[in-house]
Structure 1
Amino acid sequence: PQFPTNEMKYNLTWSTDGLINEYGNPCEAIHEGKLIETLPLEGLEHFSLDGVDYEAFNTSGGVGTLCETLAGKVRMLSYKTIRYRGHRNLMAFLMNELRLNDRRALLKDVLENSVPVTPQDVVLIFCTVTGWKEGRLTQVTDARKIYHADCLGESWSAIQITTSAGLCAVVDMHAKGMLPKQGFVRQEQVKLDDFLANRFGKFYAREPQDDSVRTDVPTRATVI
């Protein structure tokens, strides 16, 4: 949420079943060049962006086929979900200590009757890469924030914008012949510059490219 007020510092913004799957299913990662399976809600780390403290931890599903593609090519790779600090410990208590990961229907009922939904959300994308470049160990970070916005005459949440924009951009690029016409196309085969230049992918850009994208807060994200 853009305005966290409860103890969990979280509001429901999408599928509760999908959220529980993220928090409860095994995750994929690369460790020392090899594809491994990791536990959800583990691998906790902290960082700050624009003066706000966040935490990140392992969750399942989001990495797609990237680990398969880069196994043996990179030393370490992980996919984590970002939340406000303190959220992970509360979810770990519910999922593991109270063993609600084994009683997901009950957990879903508890969440949907206790945690409010909100259309006022923000999607934070934070990607950090460390490696050798021109003989020096170098770190490069890309950070983006996408806020809820008025889109096509309607009020859309950030998760609605990013989910639909990602899907529509790839379909649009395929229709224009910018992606392979046959076989399985992995997400890492989509060039970032082409994606951001697309009429749908532009919603992921750091600044809106026309007046059809308007938010009630600045859409510029800080790159650190």
Structure 2
Amino acid sequence: MKQIVVVGAGRIGATIADMLDESGDYAVTVVDRSAEALAALDTGPKVKTAQCEVSEPGALEKVLEGKFAVLSAAPYSLTIRIAEAAAAAGVHYLDLTEDVKSTRRVKEIAAGAETAFIPQCGLAPGFIAIAAMSLAKRFDTLEEVKMKVGALPQHPANVLGYALTWSPEGVINEYCEPCEAIVDGKLAEIAPLEDLEEVSIDGVRYEAFNTSGGLGSTPQALLGKVKNLNYRTIRYPGHAAIMKLLLNDLNLRDRRDLALDIFRHALTPTSQDKVVILVEVTGTRDGKPAQERFERTVLSGRVGDRERTAIQITTASGISTVLDMLASGALPQKGFVAQEDIDLDTFLANRFGKAYAADGPVRKVA
């Protein structure tokens, strides 16, 4: 049984711990600085906890001694510290961060490490990159790679068509920061909340628009190979117009603290959510135009004895699958491993990756 440390006692950390614990192959310890958060941890009885001030040099290293891997479900501000501790302790490292600067530093740490370092193992960035790259490899030449993800309420109850399904700080950030893309073969920064388009998945109508942070390292992997590459967030129709009014016309992008207060006050959390995923790739194959499309809609469901949201399930499934592939020897055991290096079919066949599979155990919209 492999010893795993999960840093972060929030909802995602709890879901990861339960998912791994339920498999019977991993002994999990959840680490957090907060004794209150650890006491409130919603997991099975076999999951252990340890209070640790992760930011303190040497503290996490002691917890990691003799362990197989550390999985970070902590705020991005702790990413580098956790990666440094993993390198010092000689354990494998995986995280969920969307932060580009942190990931660059993780890559530098990985260059001198004797274990594997695999950042951005969540949904977007994460699984979306695995799906996009696996489709792109089927083409002789690439024209467009379009990646879209949405975390939404199953039953919208306001004009925004939105409810809090994950970090409100993350939502505000992705609506305000410049977005990476490839435009006409060149790396570019494009504006958030722009390039609105209509999308239909499983017969449901949505809209999609530019947001930051979802591409991970895919632009670098496909630069020089594709003409256009972009990432857009999926929402119910009308959402982008309202957010542009709030953030642009009323200048709340310069008062993100106020925007965050409004979100927290006005939007209630929901446990009945869904994650919508769409990847579309166009190009040529055997000299002829070709197109591939991958789509999934995953609903909230159960992990072990507990109800979990769709965003919890998809995020935890992503990092748990990559860990499982690493443990089985299906991934490199040393150095930096990008999401684009992971095969989609192998991922979907994994016991944890089945949450994303068309015939997986998690309920899907018909």
Contact 1:207 1:220 in 2 (8 A): no
Equivalent residue number for residue 185 of structure 1: 337
Task: Quote the offset at 1:134 in angstroms.
Answer: 2.5
Post-superposition, which runs of at least 4 consecutive aligned residues in structure 1 deviate over 3 A? none
| Partner residue, 2:289 | 137
Residue equivalent to 1:91: 243
The match for 1:5 is 157
* Distance across 1 between alignment mates of 2:176 and 2:349: 36
In terms of fraction of residues, the more helix-rich structure is 2
Partner of 1:74: 226
Instruction: Measure how far apart 1:32 and its partner are.
Output: 1.4
Matched, 1:30 2:182: yes
Distance 1:50 1:169 in 2: 26
Aligned mate of 2:272, from 120, 135, 149 = 120
Unaligned runs of 5+ in 1: none
Q: Return the alpha-carbon distance in structure 1 between the equivalents of residues 195 and 304 of structure 2.
A: 39
1:12 alignment partner AA: L
Identity of aligned residues (%): 50
1:20 matches 2:181: no
- Contact 1:151/1:214 (CA < 8 Å) preserved in 2? no
- Tell me how far apart the structure 2 counterparts of residues 183 and 214 of structure 1 sit (CA, whole Å): 33
Correspondence 1:60-71 to 2 at 5 A: 60-71=212-223
Q: Secondary structure at the match of 2:335?
A: coil
Distance (whole Å) between structure 1 residues aligned to residue 291 and residue 362 of structure 2: 32
**Contact 1:206–1:220, Cα closer than 8 Å, also in 2:** no
Query: CA 1:89–1:105 in structure 2 vs 1: closer, same or farther (change >3 Å)?
Result: same
Query: Is residue 111 of structure 1 aligned with residue 263 of structure 2?
Result: yes
Q: What TM-score, normalized by structure 1, do the two folds share?
A: 0.92
Shift of 1:220: 5.9
Equivalent residue for 2:353? 201
* Contact 2:299/2:365 (<8 A) preserved: no
The Cα of 1:42 is off from its aligned counterpart by 1.0
User: Structure 2: any 5+ residue segments left out of the alignment?
Assistant: 1-152
Counterpart CA distance in 1 for 2:255 and 2:184 is 35
> What is the alpha-carbon distance in structure 2 between the residues aligned to residue 30 and residue 110 of structure 1?
33
Which residue of the other structure, out of 150, 162, 165, is the alignment partner of 2:317? 165
| SS of residue matched to 1:79 | strand
CA distance in 1, matches of 2:301, 2:335: 35
- Distance in 1 between residues matched to 2:362 and 2:338, nearest whole Å: 31
Aligned-partner SS, 1:129: strand
- The residue that corresponds to 1:58 in the other structure is 210
Structure 1 198/189 Cα, relative in aligned 2: closer, same or farther at 3 Å? same
Deviation at 1:214, TM superposition (A): 5.2
Contact 2:300 2:362 in 1 (8 A): no
Distance 1:110 1:31, change over 3 A: same
**1:51-86 Cα distance to aligned partner (Å, 9 max, x none):** 321111111111000001101111111011101110
Alpha-carbon shift at residue 50 of structure 1 (Å): 2.7
Give how far 1:49 is off: 2.3
Q: Give the 3-state SS of the residue equivalent to 2:226 in structure 1.
A: coil
Deviation, 1:47, is 1.8
Note the C-alpha offset of 1:26: 1.0
Residue 182 of structure 2 aligns to a residue whose secondary structure is strand
Larger Rg: 2
Q: In the aligned structure 2, how far is the partner of 1:106 from the partner of 1:29? A: 29
> For the residues of structure 2 that align with 1:185 and 1:175, how far apart are their CA atoms?
14
SS of 1:28 mapped into structure 2: strand
Name 2:8's counterpart in structure 1: none
